[in-house]
Structure 1
Amino acid sequence: MEFDGLVAAVTGGASGIGLATARELARRGAAVAVLDRTVDGLESGLDGYTCDVTDTASVRAAVEGIEQRHGRLDVLVNNAGIGAQGTVEDNDETEWQRVFDVNVTGIARVSAAALPLLRRTAAAAGRTVAIVNTCSVAATAGLPQRALYSASKGAVLALTRAMAADHLPEGVRVNCVNPGTVDTPWVGRLLDAAADPEAERAALEARQPTGRLVTAEEVAAAICYLASPAAGATTGTALAVDGGMQNLRLRPGPR
């Protein structure tokens, strides 16, 4: 069990990609702390900590709770995030500030609170520990009606690389995953709100060379790879889990 004896924290870990990641880390042997605004009803094996990534006091309290319970932190998964639709004309400044506060500053806020514990763990263990940020293909590919969301995820990609440069000398590796369109509750809500949900799902599926949406479990597996001690030489990397959406240009026709 590659995560035996290790402690992992996952923000936004109560649903979607975060929950799939928390489950997979636990399955591989980690003690998993789920940080989310609501953690009621978590399944056995996952420890819940109420945490709002836009609130510094809430974040610090959650990290202190992890330290008091476990005395260490080997993996931080910065997964909490929100979506946004529209062009640059469609969201006002308040919405821009709200999305960036969660998607970008939230990562910085949680990482800053967790870094002292991550550093101490790395020093005591004599090996690197890991931060993995959930980014998006929207950081590297221009998508229609996603101006605000894409800008926030572009910032996450740049932040990941800067953090990797800053903290590798301290024994902290920093990477991110870039999912394509993932079949999560958020995407489900977007589909439900569409005029023709079936047609909208078909369009999203057709946009990915695999012809289907990415699963949360596939993203979780990639996060676990980047978080694993086995990936000790991997840092400053963006791992695409997008069904080929970023790099492949397939000819139309039967697969």
Structure 2
Amino acid sequence: MRLQGKHAVITAAGQGIGRATALAMAKEGAQVWATDVNADLLKAFEGEKNIRTAKLDVLDKAAIQAFVKQAGRIDVLFNCAGFVHNGTIEQATDADWDFAFNLNARAQFWMIQAVLPGMLAQGGGSIINMASVCSSVRGLPNRFIYGASKAAVIGLTKSVAADYVARGIRCNAICPGTVDTPSLHDRINAQPDPVEARKNFIARQPMGRLAQAHEIAPIVLFLASDESQFATGNAYMVDGGMTI
């Protein structure tokens, strides 16, 4: 039970990587708060041991602060919420840019800012941010806004790690490749030829397949656990070889 006694909060836990991680953390003994803006998705956790659910809009600062106060002790924060915009800089709009940076970066800033006082008071904590291989790590076609916002996440992660490295707070990011999630399905189905679109996503993965959400969860568990207590400020590639 690698997370026995730890209390974790996960955003966007209703499906995909967030859900897989919530289940994995609970199995390892953590008391998990699974949150999502879509309360209907959280109903799937009913009956799961060690998991409590709460509707949370991470674009609402007041809601974040109220939730953190309600949650009590938080040892682990996994900032999983995010959105993928398609297109080049020529196709980017100010509205899309603002939405991406608000959800992909500002929401993480607000969540971290809200949980930090409690973590510092209790002597430590682990913060894990969802970045992407598409970021400052690697540029991918038609991901201008997304890549820029995820590069910001890596910078945010390193800054928090540097400021609190001597105060018991660890902050790391994970950088997945292409993961077979409901979010990816939505993007594929929005293309003129979904079959071809899926083939293209698979083709850019050197392993010749997409990742499954449950294959991403173990790196989050590692970073949440005391096994990684000497690791901070890192961006961990979980990309199926995209950055070889």
- For the pair 1:215 / 2:212, whether they are aligned, the reply is yes
* RMSD across aligned positions (CA): 1.1
Q: In the TM superposition, what is the alpha-carbon distance from 1:90 to its structure 2 partner?
A: 1.3
CA contact (8 A) 2:97 2:145 kept: yes
Alignment partners' CA distance in 2, 1:217 and 1:188: 16
Q: Hey, what does 1:2 align to over in structure 2?
A: 2
Match runs of 1:169-180 below 5 Å: 169-180=166-177
Comparing 188-197 with 8-17, greater Cα deviation is found at 188-197
Alignment partners' CA distance in 2, 1:152 and 1:52: 19
Q: In the TM superposition, what is the alpha-carbon distance from 1:196 to its structure 2 partner?
A: 2.1
Q: Hey, what does 1:250 align to over in structure 2?
A: none
Q: Which amino acid aligns with 1:229?
A: D
Q: In the TM superposition, what is the alpha-carbon distance from 1:129 to its structure 2 partner?
A: 1.9
- Post-superposition Cα deviations, 1:158-177, rounded to whole Å, max 9, x if no partner, equal 11111100112221100010
CA contact (8 A) 1:135 1:177 kept: yes
Larger radius of gyration: 1
CA contact (8 A) 1:50 1:62 kept: no
Q: Hey, what does 2:133 align to over in structure 1?
A: 137
Partner SS for 1:138: coil
- For the pair 1:19 / 2:24, whether they are aligned, the reply is no
Comparing 197-206 with 177-186, greater Cα deviation is found at 197-206
Alignment partners' CA distance in 2, 1:97 and 1:190: 20
Q: In the TM superposition, what is the alpha-carbon distance from 1:98 to its structure 2 partner?
A: 1.0
- Post-superposition Cα deviations, 1:184-210, rounded to whole Å, max 9, x if no partner, equal 111101111222222211111111111
- Post-superposition Cα deviations, 1:20-56, rounded to whole Å, max 9, x if no partner, equal 1111100111000012112341412321122111111
Q: Hey, what does 1:235 align to over in structure 2?
A: 232
CA contact (8 A) 1:119 1:171 kept: yes
Q: Hey, what does 1:96 align to over in structure 2?
A: 97
Q: Hey, what does 1:150 align to over in structure 2?
A: 147
Q: Hey, what does 1:74 align to over in structure 2?
A: 75
Q: In the TM superposition, what is the alpha-carbon distance from 1:237 to its structure 2 partner?
A: 0.9
- The structure 2 residue matched to 1:47, chosen from 28, 52, 64, is 52
TM-score normalized by the length of structure 1: 0.91
Q: Hey, what does 2:192 align to over in structure 1?
A: 195
TM-score normalized by the length of structure 2: 0.94
Q: In the TM superposition, what is the alpha-carbon distance from 1:58 to its structure 2 partner?
A: 0.6
Q: Which amino acid aligns with 1:130?
A: S
Partner SS for 2:151: helix
Alignment partners' CA distance in 2, 1:144 and 1:150: 10
Count of matched residue pairs: 238
Q: Hey, what does 2:115 align to over in structure 1?
A: 114
